[in-house]
């Protein structure tokens, strides 16, 4: 349908991620169906939709955890080049400057809080295995440098006091924060957050709104997030994309989305989802 060079030209300068015709089906179920939208640099972009609408699946298609059946995922990498992510391996994505969290918090229970955050800078480490096992200056310097960076991130997120505790046994809200902290270690261009406010109380959610804005400004990156809490999304996002049954309903500012009839119908009777 499109060829690569054509696509490269079609992505505007201020766009960081552009998905086009993204589709994936599980058996007969079209979990994501011809989804198309783009995210601009430094934008906070919300993806909303009822439970099972395909939001997480869309994230998995963007980050290549799932191979989409159709469509392209164009991304402006941290080197300034535009690349189609489709076909890349999941572990290659973060090197392009795209980092994510998971709906069901994926942290390592046996590691301390700071070690979990340090995993976020895995791609920044370069010391050889020999240098690591003999603690040669190169490995030591590297470790010290990123440990300090991790401490700064933890302080910033209000987690510094628990940095040496194990992750196992921390409350859910803290886990969500640690996972967010981990994304800040790799100089991301785009951070994808799957339900970052789930399990947080009202004041924590409010604080998270501020933190996410700050992160955008401090790290000069765009943020794509899924969230059920409508108030959280409308407060925070520059633009919102609403989907239902894998299909796009509307893209626009929070006001436009709230006023959209189709969106209202999709949410009708679904309570405060």
Partner 1 sequence: MNKQENKQAVKVKSNSPYKQYLLFGLLLLLIPALVKMGVIKYSFLTIIASILIYAIVALGVNLLVGYSGLVSLGTAGFMGMGTYLAAYFTSDLNLPFEISLVISVAVPMIIGVLTGLVSLRIEGYYLAIATLAISEILRKVFVEFDVVTNGFSGKDADYPKLLGTFELNRDSTFMLIVVILVAVMFITHNFINSYTGRALSTMRGSEAAAQAMGINIYRYRLLSFAVAVGYAALGGVLYIHFIKYTYPNAWTLLFSLNMLAVIIIGGVRSIPGTILGSFIVFGVPDLILKNLPVIGEIDGLAYVFNGVLIIIVILLYPAGLIQFWHNLKMKIAKGRKGKEGNNA
Binding site for Mg ion (CB under 5 A): 56, 103
If one asks whether residue 104 binds ligand ADP (CB under 6 A), the answer comes out as no
Cα 266 from Cα 97, distance rounded (Å): 34
If one asks whether residue 79 binds partner 1 (CB under 8 A), the answer comes out as no
DSSP string across 14-45: TEEEEEEEEEEEETTEEEEEEEEEEEETT-EE
Give residues 160-179 in contact with partner 1 (rule: CB under 8 A). 161, 164
Nearer CB in complex with partner 1: 170/209:
170
Residues 143, 115 contacting (CB under 8 angstroms): no
Residues 44, 225 contacting (CB under 8 angstroms): yes
If one asks whether residue 110 binds partner 1 (CB under 8 A), the answer comes out as yes
DSSP string across 236-263: H-SEEEEEETTEEEEEE-HHHHHH-HHH
> What residues contact 80, with CB distance under 8 A and at least 6 apart?
none
If one asks whether residue 134 binds partner 1 (CB under 8 A), the answer comes out as yes
> Which of the listed partners (partner 1, ligand ADP, Mg ion, none) does 161 bind, with a CB threshold of 5 to 8 Å by partner kind?
partner 1
> Which of the listed partners (Mg ion, ligand ADP, partner 1, none) does 18 bind, with a CB threshold of 5 to 8 Å by partner kind?
none
Stretch that binds partner 1, among 32-40, 76-84, 120-128, 264-272 (CB under 8 A): 120-128
* Dihedral, 137, 116, 110, 131 alpha carbons, nearest 10: -20
Nearer CB in complex with partner 1: 2/109:
109
Chain positions contacting ligand ADP, by CB under 6 A: 26, 29, 31, 49, 51-57
């Amino acid at each position: 349908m499109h060829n690569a060079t054509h696509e490269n030209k079609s992505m505007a300068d201020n766009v960081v991620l552009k998905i086009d015709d993204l589709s994936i089906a599980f058996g007969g179920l079209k979990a994501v169906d011809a989804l198309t939208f783009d995210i601009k640099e430094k934008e906070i972009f919300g993806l909303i939709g009822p439970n099972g609408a395909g939001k997480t699946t869309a994230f998995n298609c963007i980050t290549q955890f799932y191979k989409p059946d159709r469509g392209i995922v164009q991304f402006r990498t941290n080197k300034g080049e535009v690349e189609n992510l489709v076909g890349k391996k999941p572990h290659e994505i973060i090197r392009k400057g795209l980092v994510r969290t998971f709906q069901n918090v994926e942290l390592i229970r046996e590691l301390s809080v700071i070690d979990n955050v340090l995993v976020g800078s895995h791609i920044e480490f370069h010391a050889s295995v020999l240098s690591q096992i003999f603690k040669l200056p190169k490995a030591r310097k590297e470790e010290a440098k990123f440990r300090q960076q991790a401490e700064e991130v933890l302080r910033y997120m209000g987690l510094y006091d628990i940095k040496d505790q194990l992750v196992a046994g921390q409350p859910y809200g803290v886990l969500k924060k640690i996972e967010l902290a981990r994304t800040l270690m790799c100089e991301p261009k785009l951070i994808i957050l799957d339900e970052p406010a789930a399990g947080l109380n009202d004041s924590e959610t409010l604080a998270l709104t501020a933190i996410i804005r700050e992160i955008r400004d401090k790290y000069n990156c765009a943020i794509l997030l899924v969230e059920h809490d409508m108030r959280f999304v409308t407060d925070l996002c520059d633009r919102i994309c609403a989907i239902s049954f894998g299909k796009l309903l509307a893209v626009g500012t929070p006001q436009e989305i709230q006023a959209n009839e189709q969106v209202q119908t999709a949410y009708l009777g679904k309570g405060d989802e």
